[in-house]
Amino acid sequence: MIFNRKAFLAAASLPMVLGVAACGGGGEIAVNGDDAPPVGANGSGNIVAISGAGATFPAPLFQRWFDTYNREVNPDVQVSYQSVGSGAGLEQYINGTVDFGASEAPITDSEDRMKSFREAWPFEPIQIPITGGHVSFSYNLPGVGDQELSLDREAYCGIVTGEITNWNDPVFAEANPDIDFPDLDITWVHRSDGSGTTFVFVNHIDTVCDGWEAGVGTSVDWPVGIGGQGNEGVAAGIQQNEGAIGYLSYAYAALNDIPSALVENNAGNFMEPTPENASNALLGEEVPDDFALLVPDPAGEDAYPIVGLVWVMIYQEYESAETWEALRGVFEWALGPEGDALTEELLFVPLPDELVERIIEVFDTVEAG
């Protein structure tokens, strides 16, 4: 199928989001807290507990989805999600210790994870996209406010490869004639854990930066910089160091008021990292049968260039029919109109209706009970 544009409603203001408690370097999202409706208020009182783990990238959206579903749709379904990074989440998925995993990097035949899954299970993994997202260059640069910094490809490639080390380098001046850059060392901040955000980011960097030699993966050997655990750790590294710049899920950066740069795209245009510009990167892209769509350098004139999907990994078979039906209900709701409204509000990219129809067909193949 081909991605088509879906109606997008820009959020007028950034919403308040409940914090994610620290848990093993990431966090855990749990619903049905002290002020939740009493058990059985709108349901049977037979609680179904669902667990997931993985990417920090979609954690703010998952938090809102799962909390809203529990409070407003079915209080008998409780979803907890460990925001531990894609790599750790996929390990838990393969080990069968969670009901679903989440990652911005799909499992492919060439990966060791696919081999590990096949050794552990008598069926193939199921991975379905659940939302789209994009990665920002977010920074802490005195005198430069939100959305004022523009980065051309020479500039950001030089930063990540370590070839450009100070903000007074002339490379920044052409795209930013109104900024008086300080004589300040650049501190590059990157992920230290296995991360789908890293995969999306370096997939783009590997495509456009001639000096990049670390390849593509959820973890790479960075030539320069300091590491942080999860989006949370990278954000902290940026906020605590003047002159720092790093990569974050844009939704995470925006919701935490961390400035993000305009980035030069394939057509030579400087694009704001808005969800609408990110959705432009997916227009006309062919989605393969296994849903493993990668867009390392979209060609559209209005496309933000660092974009990826978030996949959830489910099993072909579940021992409990009750667990699977509850999980399916959550995901179908999240992919529907009410879930889409929250997706847009939190600055992620909803999936088009045609793709959602394909996902529902995959749900029909899962066996349970």
C-alpha torsion 137→143→146→147, nearest 10 = -70
Please compute the mean of the pLDDT values over residues 41-65 and round it to a whole number: 84
What's residue 45's pLDDT?
64
Q: Say what the pTM is.
A: 0.78
Distance, CA of 300 to CA of 295 (rounded, Å): 11
DSSP-assigned beta bridge partners for residue 29 = 81
**If you ran DSSP here, which 8-state letter would residue 2 be given?**
B
**Helix (H) or strand (E) segment spanning residue 342:** helix 337-345
pLDDT at 15 over 50: no
Q: Which CATH architecture has domain 134-280?
A: 3-Layer(aba) Sandwich (3.40)
Which carries the bigger pLDDT value, residue 108 or residue 50? 50
Which pLDDT band holds residue 314 (cuts at 50, 70, 90)? Answer: very high
Please compute the mean of the pLDDT values over residues 285-312 and round it to a whole number: 94
The rounded percent of the chain whose pLDDT value lies above 70 is 87
Best CATH choice for the domain 21-133+308-368 from the list 3.50.50.60, 3.30.9.10, 3.40.630.30, 3.40.190.10: 3.40.190.10
What's residue 39's pLDDT?
31
pLDDT at 62 over 70: yes
Distance, CA of 10 to CA of 1 (rounded, Å): 26
Three-state SS string across 60-106, please?
A: HHHHHHHHHHHHHHCCCEEEEEEECCHHHHHHHHHHCCCCEEEECCC
Name every residue whose Cβ is closer than 8 Å to that of residue 13 and which is 6 or more positions away in sequence. none
Domains of the chain by residue range? 21-133+308-368, 134-280
pLDDT at 269 over 90: yes
Please compute the mean of the pLDDT values over residues 283-289 and round it to a whole number: 88
Instruction: Take residue 194 and report the two structure tokens written for it.
Output: 């296995």
Distance, CA of 277 to CA of 269 (rounded, Å): 12
- Residue pair 298/280 in contact (Cβ under 8 Å)? The answer is yes
User: pLDDT by residue (tens digit) across 75-112?
Assistant: 999 999 999 988 899 999 999 999 999 998 888 877 78
pLDDT at 158 over 60: yes
User: pLDDT by residue (tens digit) across 217-246?
Assistant: 989 999 999 999 988 999 999 999 999 999
Please compute the mean of the pLDDT values over residues 54-75 and round it to a whole number: 95
Distance, CA of 353 to CA of 276 (rounded, Å): 16
Please compute the mean of the pLDDT values over residues 337-355 and round it to a whole number: 93
C-alpha torsion 337→342→348→349, nearest 10 = 10
Residue type, 357: E
Instruction: Take residue 86 and report the two structure tokens written for it.
Output: 């894609």
Which pLDDT band holds residue 148 (cuts at 50, 70, 90)? Answer: confident
The answer to whether domain 21-133+308-368 and domain 134-280 are alike in fold is yes
What's residue 255's pLDDT?
85
Name every residue whose Cβ is closer than 8 Å to that of residue 9 and which is 6 or more positions away in sequence. 341, 344
**Backbone conformation region of residue 92, classed left if phi is above 0, alpha if psi is from -120 to 50, else beta:** alpha
Instruction: Take residue 155 and report the two structure tokens written for it.
Output: 């500039």
What's residue 109's pLDDT?
79
Angle, CA 56 vertex, CA 153 and CA 317 arms, to 5° = 120
